[in-house]
Amino acid sequence: MIEVKDVRKVFGTQEVLKGISAVFETGKNNLIIGKSGSGKTVLLKCIVGLLTPTDGHVLFDEKDYVAMNIDQKNEIRRELGMLFQGGALFDSLTVEQNVRFPLDMFTHMPLSEKRDRVNEVLKRVNLVNANHKFPSQISGGMQKRTGIARAIVMNPKYLFCDEPNSGLDPQTSIVVDELIMEITQEYNITTITNTHDMNSVIANGDKIIFLHEGNKHWEGDKYSLFESDNKELIDFIFASDFLKEARDARFNKLKNKV
């Protein structure tokens, strides 16, 4: 379980996060949604420690991460996997070397064992026969899957995904979403995913946190999402006029039936 308490983040004069408190549950894919610029990435980076919150606390299973020194943080970080928005694969290393990197750096496994583990996770993300390709030689979807493989190769307790399906076609996007979901449940991981992709919100929203201008504006799940009368949330979900009209049409139809 990860808990954020009153997290604030100020850049210069701009207050990007205005005191956010939330609980992210274990074994669930916790979604952070909100429109572009609402502070999703900043919140995620504050949680993983790439940014230090101006105020507030981040607790990993009750332990205060913000207050830790660098060595203690590194301990936690070894139990943590992250999928970056752009993949962030090491471009001088092959797919296999990328996924093996954390094992090379932090374990004493013999090479053959590491290879087996790498092939196991690559198979898990449906990426076979790409072991010796470089990131520049594979597609965006394959890069995302390599990123997931690298994030889970150490069996993390916490998994963070920043926009896992940005830049992917709808089908690949669903594959990646399902993969994250399955891994989360299978290994009982605390997963936090940033997204503004409504398909994935509707498919995976066990627990949803809606950010608006640096505030937590709403919290719930995919069922309560559509019943909410929160104006900003409705504007976010039904972004286009077409969708709003479709919703109103359906609403009127329902009303007429009554």
Partner 1 sequence: MAEYVHASGGPLFHIGRYVLMIKRSFAKPERAAMYWKETLVQMNNIGVGSLVIILLISFFIGAVSAVQFAYNLSQSMVPMYYVGFVVKESMILELAPTVSCLILGGKIGSNLASELGTMRLTEQIDALEIMGVNTISYLIGPKLAASVTMIPLLVVISAITGIWGGLLAGSMSGYVSGADYLQGVLMSFKAYNIFVMMVKSVVFGFVLTSVSCYQGFYAHGSAIEIGKASTRAVVLSCVMVLFADLILTWLLLR
Ligand X SMILES: Nc1ncnc2c1ncn2[C@@H]1O[C@H](COP(=O)(O)OP(=O)(O)OP(=O)(O)O)[C@@H](O)[C@H]1O
- Give residues in contact with partner 1 (CB under 8 A): 11, 48-52, 70, 73-78, 80-82, 84-86, 88-91, 101-102, 104-106, 150
| Residue closer to ligand X (CB basis): 83 or 154 | 83
Binding residue for Mg ion (CB under 5 A) from 29, 30, 38, 41?
41
- Position 87 contacts ligand X (CB under 6 A): no
- Position 13 contacts ligand X (CB under 6 A): no
- Position 226 contacts ligand X (CB under 6 A): no
Smallest gap from Cβ 86 to ligand X, in A, equals 11
What stretches of 57-211 show up as alpha helix (H) in DSSP?
70-77, 95-106, 111-124, 140-152, 170-186, 198-204
Bridging pattern class, strands 2-11 and 14-24:
antiparallel
CA atoms of 258 and 255, how far apart (whole Å) = 5
Q: What are phi and psi of 221, to 5 degrees?
A: -135, -175
User: Which of the listed partners (Mg ion, partner 1, ligand X, none) does 205 bind, with a CB threshold of 5 to 8 Å by partner kind?
Assistant: none
Residues in contact with Mg ion, counted by CB under 5 A, come to a total of 1
Binding residue for ligand X (CB under 6 A) from 22, 28, 40, 143?
40
| Residue closer to ligand X (CB basis): 37 or 86 | 37
CA atoms of 196 and 51, how far apart (whole Å) = 22
**Closest of 121, 129, 168 to residue 147, by C-alpha:** 121
Q: Does the CA dihedral 211-197-246-239 come out positive or negative?
A: positive
- Position 159 contacts ligand X (CB under 6 A): no
Task: Please report, as ranges, the residues that interact with Mg ion according to CB under 5 A.
Answer: 41
